[in-house]
Each structure stands twice: as structure tokens, then as C-alpha cells.
Structure 1
Amino acid sequence: MSLYTAFRPLLFRLPPERAHALTLRALKSGIFAGDTGSDDPVLATEVWGKHFANPLGISAGFDKNAEVMAPLLKLGFGFVEVGSITPRPQAGNPRPRVFRLPASHAVINRLGFNNEGIAGAEPRLKSFRAKRTPGLLGVNLGKNKDGEAAADYAAGTRALARYADYLVINVSSPNTPGLRALQGRAELENLIAAVRADLPDPAPPLVLKIAPDLTEADKRDIAAVALASLDGLIVSNTTLARPESLQGSARAETGGLSGRPLFAASTDLLGEMYRLTEGRVPLIGVGGVEDGATAYAKIRAGASLVQLYTALIYHGPGLVKRIKRDLHDLLKRDGFTRVADAVGADAKECV
């Protein structure tokens, strides 16, 4: 029995946000054993000219304030993504705002970009970079609830892009009023232009995180914008949909749904965006990743990199090592000698 498995019943008796705060403290203390072994070369991949020891990362939302980047990398992740970080600190929406659905291995949240803002995150990012910790870092930017989109994302870019191996514009959280409206073509083009004007030289790759709840027109517009002015897409954020199979007393709570029920829809969208961008735009697949098979399915659908978060709540940090082991075996089983060869394999088979 792992340490996390032993403590999980206790954590699940606590409100989710309290349990998360304790998890962050535990990571800072080093109580969770890291994955100290080197990753097999079959798991290594190159994206944006950067070397990833493995394609597995943790998505934004776990480390909102850039507090545990090094401990997360020591768990065996190939990269971590912090945020979403807004220009000014904000408390987010009223509590309770996070709800577990254990029978469905899912979570509903309506946090609302609660974070300490640039002032809280920047010193930690600067310190992390000064220590040259192995592993790659994504910085995810959001806007304040009462902020102006272009100005807020530009402010985040000016302050934090210098620390990022890739920079994310998050316009897909369902918990900030009006945010998802920024996924329209004209709005996106204006926003990306404002951000690019403030990128440092050399600039980190610029990535857009999109929602799973898109119209066909939205998908085509985002693909066109990505091909013209982005370096990548993250597919996808949480969903407003509620599958009939969803179980739990909290299933009707408002907010974004993540975890196992999001897997099919987010993976279908991943495949669509891979085809619409003709495999020319690197994609990060996220949504329902909970084992080697689901990570591998994301890669075969078109993901160059894969992220998880909700599954850690149910399986604990040992999940990272298990996913990498099983992903290695699946790649070898199908004759792939590196991750990149498997990217979009299912889409290619459909051509």
C-alpha cells in the first residue's frame, strides 16, 4: 500500500480545497517519494525544439501559484504547467466551489481563477529558474474577473513570459464570465496580437487552451488562427456538459467537469483539431488521462504531449510512474521507437 493510498480516506473526509492545500504542503516537505530513475529513451520527445524526457505533464490548476514546480518534476513529470495566473490577486468564486464525484472519478469546480496574481508567482518563478531544475515549465495566463482581456494577458506576458518554456493563453475556463467568448476568431486574433507584441526576444512558444464545448465553426476558426499565429493548442479545458452516466450527489453543481467523464469528448476534439491543423501545430492532450492506455490514446489521436490532474486526486503521485511504465510498453507493443512516431497514428490510419 502506498503512502497516498493510506492517507486518501482521511483526505477525502476533508473539503477538497483543504485536502489540496495539505497535498501542496506534503509536496513541499518531500514526504512523497520521487521517481529518481531515468526515463527510457522511447519516452523522450522533441516539441518546439525542446527536449522532454517524457511526454507526461501536470495541467494548470494544480499549482496555481507556482509553489511546487520542483517537487512535481521530482515525481517524474516531464513538464509542469502553473497557473492560471492573473495580473492582480483574486479570491475566486464563493465556497464551496470544488466537488468530488468519486463513483465517476470526476471533479466539478467553479474556482474562478483564485490565485495570488503576478506579485505572488513571479518571485517563485524567478527562484525556480535560478536553480536550473531539470524539466520544462509552462506558464498559464488568465484575466481578472473585472479586467480587460487584451490588457490583462499582455500584462501577464510582460511579467512572466521570460520564465516560461511555453506560454499559455487560457480563454476556456467556464468559471470567469465572458471568458469563453474570446474563442471567436476576431477576438482571438486581437488577443494574440496584443500578447505577441509583449513577448520577449527570444519568445517562448505561444499556446492556446481551448474548451471542449465548441461549435463546428469555432473549431475551424481556432484551427485557422492556430495555423496562422500560434505555436500550439491545449485540448481541452473542463466541460459544462453533464453525461447521463455521471454519478454522485454533486453532479448538478455548476462549474467545469473534469476527470474520467471528459476523456471521450476531449479526445474526439483532439483528433478533430489534429486533422484541422493538418498535424502542423503541436497539441497537448488533457482530459480524463488516468493510466497508460488513456495517455496513449491521446498521443495516437494527435497529442505530442499529455497532461493530467484529476486522476492524481484518486490515484496519488505513484500514478506518474505507472503511466510512464505502461506507456512505454504500449509504444513498444505497437513497434514505435519514440513518442513522436505515434503522434496522430489513429488520424493517419483514417486517411
Structure 2
Amino acid sequence: MLRSIRDKTVKTVGTGILVVAGVEFTTKLPSEGQSSSLYHNVSDKVVTPLVRKILDPEDAHNTAIKFVKEGFAPKFRPNGLEASNSVSLKCVGPKGIVFPSCIGLAAGFDKDGLAIQGLMDLGFGFVEIGSVTPKPQPGNPKPRMFRLIEDVGVINRFGFNSVGVDAVEQNVRKFREKQSGRQIIKKDYDENDALQKAMHVTFDLIKKLWILVFPPISNSEKSLLGINLGKNKISTHETEDYEIGIEKLGKYADYLVINISSPNTPGLRDLQKSEPIRRLLKAAIAKRDQLETQPPLFVKIAPDMSLDQMKDIASAVRECNVDGILVTNTSNQRPDTLISSNSKETGGLSGLPIRDMSTECIRKMYELTDGNVFIVGIGGVGSGHDAYEKLKAGASVVQIYSRMVYEGPGVVSRIRKELCELMAQNGQKSIEDVVGIDHEEIYWTKRLSRLDTARKNEQQIVEM
């Protein structure tokens, strides 16, 4: 009976895959594996809206994680400008780390590090997991995630739900081992359970059929892994939770983030105040410096701050030699333009409604740091133009998340293509040509400094 169920399932799914493949070939669309236009259209225009209609937001989120983890989501669809090296989205960050693309995934999507490689394959230049807390905690009661469909936004009050640092460490270690080719694959089912074994074998066959029809496209770019650290809800320690995260996970991270700006953990934003933030950042830097390799350490701030508060944070970041700032987290504010019935829910607002607010925060923080601190721009990025505006305001790289809720995983490829086209139209070939261009004096000072450095390096080479 189990064999019959398995055979019928494989036959049905296999037939469906062959039909889809037949449509692609008969319409003269050459197969581009999991980056094909057909694959993207089905995923973004059929599957994503369908899932949004039949599942509540958190269930849809968890389903998306599973699909990406198993390799069913579309892969990055290259664009001609990047492929021909006419435009480069690469960015060199603090301590020389190289972001292969300035478009990354914000923390919150893959909190536990379950689907890191799958997310990188979507076309993200960097993937940030977390927030990770030292001890496991369930977060706030459900429902805790709400779509603002009419406003293209999201409100969440997850409250740092996390499996804890030990479980996340296992996940990221497996990812790094697989990256290096050292992972030993272990069976994740009970071989003595006939049903479990039959389901596993069936699913494995489906995956093989899927990959046969839509093979993954190899990507030579190595995306970066960021790990976002939080504190437990009941913790009374000011710095210890973050120090535990740094000690446990720092060796796996390309960069670390100290999250002190979630609106859903009571008292967390108090750490943004003058003295607490200095104590925390100094302790975090000291713990990071004890690691064998020292990844850049960033701090993530809220958008709901006065100018004086932003000045103090900018001063603290420079005083403590923090490597960068993530601007911004979700907002407690509710703009008058919101029309969705869910806009009254408590929690952090993200997506299109905070796009301009976050861009202004980036602009102010860039000015307050004289353009000398690396900025990751977050909030409402849903197009190449949105990313371009944040880069001009002073961000060196940007992150997205909420827009995938509405447009699916293919939005990453689209944003990269649109950004490249905008840069080409404006005669800009690299990210350095765009970052901070809204700040004319700072922009040209930095540009002339880079030119002067390049000339000196050329002269040294000639003299050698």
C-alpha cells in the first residue's frame, strides 16, 4: 500500500513537472534552470498570491522557509548589465569583507538559520539570520504577524521567538560544513517507521525529478552570512546575552549585528540611551575581539528617534569603533496614510509605509557620521528605485524582507536588474559612484580621497 501511494504521488508530480517543462520548451523559452522566466512567473504570480490567500501570514512565512530550504524557490535570474560587467553591485565593507551584491535579506525571515543557502541562491548578496537569543523562547502569543495588503506593509509582534543560540549554532555549523564540502549527511527520519521512510523516499524522488527538469544554476558569487543577536525577554543582564551570542556564533558569521531596536521586547530600546549603549557596545567589541577571527560588528537602530537621540548614537558608534549601523528596524509609528484594517494592530510596522521615513534616517545618520560609518539601509525597499534612493542617501548596501510577502522571491532579481539600469542611465558603474551622492560636499571629498589613494598606489607600483 505504501509503495502504491508513493508511486502514484511520484507519477502525478512527475507528470506535472513534465507538463510545465513542455510548456516552457514549446513556447521557445530555453530552459535556464530554476532561474527561468517561467519558473519566476509561476512562483511570484501564481504560488505567492495563492499561499497568501489560503494561509495566515505566519503559516505562509513558515511554508516559504521550507520551500526555499528544499530548493523549490526560483534562483537568481542574471541581468545583462551585471553579466557583462557594465555595472557592478559589489561593495567592499568594513574589514575588507566583500558583498557580492548590495541587495541583502533582512533579519526576521530566517530566524533560526534553516534555509541559508537557499536564500543566498535567490540572489541576495548577503543573508542575515536571527534575531537569535541565548535561551530558547516562544515569543508573543499568536496571531503576531499581520498583512497590510492595501498599504503593502506588514506589522509583526513576534517578540524574538527563537530556538536559542545552541540550536542555531548547529544550523550554521551545518551550513558552513556543507559550504566547505565537509558535511556528513545524516538520515533525519526513523528507518524503522515504514510511513516515515516511504514519505522520505517519495519526497526525495520528487526533489530529484524537480531538479532534473529545473536544474539549479551555479553561482560563483559567495554571499555573506550575517547573524543578528538579541536578548531574552526575561533577562536582566545589559550585555551578557549579546556576549553569549558573539562567543557562540561569531566564528560562523561574516558580520554580527547587535539588535537593540525591536519594538516587541519590553525595555530593549532603552539600550539605545547614551550610557547603556556605550556600555553594551564596548562589551560587545571586547568580546568580538577575543574571537580567533573578528567579523565586523554592527548595531541596529530604530526609526522612532529624535535628532538628539540620533546624534548620541552616532557619537557612541564612532567612540566605540563599531563597524556599521543598520538603519532602520520596524516602527511604532502609524502614518495617517494607512488604510488597512490591520493598521491598528500593535507591533513593528515595516514595508512601503516606512520607506521614506527610513531613507530620511539614513540621510541624517550619514551626515552625523560624516559618511565615515558603513550604513545598511532597511525599510520599504521594493524596487531598484527604492534601493537607489537609499544608496544616494548614504547606505552602502540595503536589505529587503516585507516586499517578498507580496511579490515572491523573484523580487530580488527584479530589484537588482532595475538598480543596474538606473545606474547605467546615470553613468554610474559601481556602488561607490552612488553612495552618498545626495550629500555633495561629503561625496566629493570621499571621491577625491579615493582618487588620490589610487594614484599613490599606482605610483608605488611604478617605483617597484
The TM-score bracket by the shorter chain reads over 0.9
Partner of 1:141 in structure 2?
A: 229
Partner of 1:10 in structure 2?
A: 50
Contact preservation (8 Å) 2:75, 2:123? yes
Amino acid at match of 1:253: E
The whole-number CA distance in structure 1 between the counterparts of 2:75 and 2:49 is 22
Aligned pairs, number: 351
Q: Which stretch shifts more, 210-219 or 129-138?
A: 129-138
Partner of 2:102 in structure 1?
A: 55
- CA 1:194–1:43 in 2, change beyond 3 Å: closer, same or farther? same
1:56-107 deviation per Cα after TM superposition (whole angstroms, max 9, x unaligned): 0000000000011100110111000000000001000011111101110000
Q: Are 2:61 and 1:20 aligned?
A: yes
Work out which of the residue numbers 221, 224, 229 in structure 1 matches 2:315.
224
TM-superposed CA distance for 1:131, in Å, is 2.9
Partner of 2:292 in structure 1?
A: 201
Amino acid at match of 2:107: A
Partner of 2:256 in structure 1?
A: 167
TM-superposed CA distance for 1:249, in Å, is 1.0
The whole-number CA distance in structure 2 between the counterparts of 1:248 and 1:79 is 32
Work out which of the residue numbers 126, 130, 136 in structure 2 matches 1:89.
136
Q: Are 2:407 and 1:315 aligned?
A: yes
Question: SS at 1:220's partner residue?
Answer: helix
The whole-number CA distance in structure 1 between the counterparts of 2:433 and 2:48 is 38
TM-superposed CA distance for 1:4, in Å, is 3.0
Work out which of the residue numbers 377, 383, 388 in structure 2 matches 1:296.
388
Work out which of the residue numbers 239, 259, 265 in structure 2 matches 1:150.
239
1:301-350 deviation per Cα after TM superposition (whole angstroms, max 9, x unaligned): 00101000000000111111111011011111111110112101012279
1:218-249 deviation per Cα after TM superposition (whole angstroms, max 9, x unaligned): 10011011112210000000000000111211
**Structure (1 or 2) with the greater helix fraction:** 2
Query: Counterparts in 2 of 1:333-348, with a 5 A limit?
Result: 333-348=425-440
Amino acid at match of 1:145: K
Query: Counterparts in 2 of 1:257-268, with a 5 A limit?
Result: 257-268=349-360
Question: SS at 1:21's partner residue?
Answer: helix
Amino acid at match of 1:14: L
Identity of aligned residues (%): 44
Partner of 2:280 in structure 1?
A: 191
The whole-number CA distance in structure 2 between the counterparts of 1:36 and 1:129 is 25
The whole-number CA distance in structure 1 between the counterparts of 2:77 and 2:172 is 23
TM-superposed CA distance for 1:37, in Å, is 4.2
TM-superposed CA distance for 1:116, in Å, is 0.4
Backbone CA RMSD of aligned residues: 1.5
Question: SS at 1:181's partner residue?
Answer: helix
In the alignment, structure 2 segments of 5+ residues that lack a partner are 1-40, 181-221, 444-464
1:10-38 deviation per Cα after TM superposition (whole angstroms, max 9, x unaligned): 32231111011110111112111212648
The whole-number CA distance in structure 2 between the counterparts of 1:36 and 1:315 is 15
The whole-number CA distance in structure 2 between the counterparts of 1:197 and 1:50 is 20
* TM-score, normalization by structure 2: 0.74
Amino acid at match of 2:62: A
Q: Which stretch shifts more, 174-183 or 9-18?
A: 9-18
The whole-number CA distance in structure 2 between the counterparts of 1:172 and 1:128 is 28
TM-superposed CA distance for 1:202, in Å, is 2.6
1:181-236 deviation per Cα after TM superposition (whole angstroms, max 9, x unaligned): 10012111100122122211331111000000001221001101111221000000
TM-superposed CA distance for 1:3, in Å, is 2.1
Q: Are 2:420 and 1:328 aligned?
A: yes
The whole-number CA distance in structure 2 between the counterparts of 1:158 and 1:338 is 35
Amino acid at match of 2:89: L
Q: Are 2:153 and 1:106 aligned?
A: yes
Query: Counterparts in 2 of 1:109-124, with a 5 A limit?
Result: 109-124=156-171
Contact preservation (8 Å) 1:36, 1:74? no
In the alignment, structure 1 segments of 5+ residues that lack a partner are none
